[in-house]
């Protein structure tokens, strides 16, 4: 029997087959969950629908998380279709491309607000909107990156957004504890997704990551999917408000090993 048998999961942030959200969707499917998917905009529909279909998912809804009315509408549709849900996955982040290069102090007021709105507030807004639909024993998940706690050059305003996202995870965990719903974040190492495409120096960072990490391997969306199963299933029943690293151990290192051991 699958670890998520009888559970319903809604996954936000699917763009294409490289998305972390897709790794999560496939892993959840494997463990027997009923899945609903949400994506950002009309142009992604053509990509997302065949993927959803391939895992037998026919709840595929557009939702731009910067619009309250889009969030309300997807909640209404989920309520009509599923009644209650068990798992909510937020796999969304965005900053203007020109904020992700050069000195952090050049961050514009508008760029700061946009990154915080799409990458952080959307998590709070989705958690609130789905609160009445969440079954006891359920789980809420978001995706973060270690640029929240240590400097990653060029990650800039996204690092600040991820720090706020991790703090939001703790505050939401406190709120949702009363209804026995857990809230956790997965901090993944760098993965070549759409959100990493065109990032200057990504290739170099990828290589350095592989060298520095104790396990000397880069991260896949499948790895994140497997961690998401744990954090959404009853296996992690007493874990909430945590940032769970899926990074081949990279974050524990202070100095690179350089093969001197």
What amino acid positions are annotated as catalytic residues?
Answer: 145, 155
Cβ-based nearer residue to ligand NAD, 36 or 93: 93
118 binds ligand NAD (CB under 6 A): yes
The token duo for 70 is: 């889009």
113 binds ligand NAD (CB under 6 A): no
Provide long-range contacts, Cβ within 8 A and 24+ apart, for 256-261: 256/211, 256/212, 257/212, 257/214
Contacts of 176 by beta carbon, 8 Å cutoff, 6+ apart? 127, 131, 134, 140, 182, 183, 240
225 binds ligand NAD (CB under 6 A): no
Residue from 145, 244, 245, 250 in contact with ligand 0WE (CB under 6 A): 145
Using the 8-state DSSP alphabet, how is residue 157 labeled? H
Say which entry of ligand NAD, ligand 0WE, none residue 15 contacts (CB below 5 to 8 A, set by partner kind): ligand NAD
Residue from 4, 9, 20, 157 in contact with ligand NAD (CB under 6 A): 20
Nearest partner of 182 among 116, 245, 244, judged by Cα: 244
Q: Is residue 222 a contact partner of residue 260, using CB atoms and an 8 Å limit?
A: no
Residue from 15, 27, 120, 134 in contact with ligand NAD (CB under 6 A): 15
Residue from 18, 66, 135, 152 in contact with ligand 0WE (CB under 6 A): 152
188 binds ligand NAD (CB under 6 A): yes
Say which entry of ligand NAD, ligand 0WE, none residue 66 contacts (CB below 5 to 8 A, set by partner kind): ligand NAD
Residue from 28, 123, 130, 145 in contact with ligand NAD (CB under 6 A): 145
154 binds ligand NAD (CB under 6 A): no
Give CA–CA dist 139/177, Å, rounded.
10
Say which entry of ligand NAD, ligand 0WE, none residue 138 contacts (CB below 5 to 8 A, set by partner kind): none
Look at phi and psi of residue 72 and say left if phi exceeds 0, alpha if psi is from -120 to 50, else beta: alpha
């Amino acid at each position: 029997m699958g670890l998520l048998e009888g559970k319903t999961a809604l996954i936000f942030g699917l763009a294409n087959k490289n998305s972390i959200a897709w790794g999560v969707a496939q892993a959840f499917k494997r463990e027997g969950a009923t899945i609903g998917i949400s994506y950002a905009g009309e142009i992604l529909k053509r990509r997302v629908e065949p993927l959803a279909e391939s895992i037998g998912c026919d709840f595929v809804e557009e939702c731009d998380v910067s619009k309250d009315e889009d969030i309300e509408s997807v909640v209404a549709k989920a309520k009509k279709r599923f009644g209650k849900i068990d798992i909510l996955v937020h796999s969304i982040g965005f900053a203007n491309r020109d904020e992700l290069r050069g000195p952090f102090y050049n961050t514009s007021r508008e760029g700061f607000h946009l990154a915080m709105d799409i990458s952080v507030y959307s998590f709070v807004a989705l958690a609130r909107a789905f609160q009445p639909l969440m079954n006891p024993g359920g789980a809420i998940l978001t995706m973060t990156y270690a640029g929240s706690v240590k400097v990653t050059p060029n990650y800039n305003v996204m690092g600040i957004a991820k720090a706020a996202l991790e703090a939001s995870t703790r505050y939401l965990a406190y709120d949702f504890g009363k209804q026995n719903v857990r809230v956790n974040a997965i901090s993944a190492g760098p993965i070549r997704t759409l959100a990493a495409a065109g990032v200057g120096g990504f290739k170099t960072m990828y290589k350095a990551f592989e060298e520095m990490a104790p396990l000397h391997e880069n991260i896949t969306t499948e790895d994140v999917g497997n961690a998401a199963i744990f954090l959404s299933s009853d296996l992690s029943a007493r874990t909430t408000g945590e940032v769970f690293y899926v990074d081949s151990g990279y974050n524990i290192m202070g100095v690179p090993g350089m093969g001197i051991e």
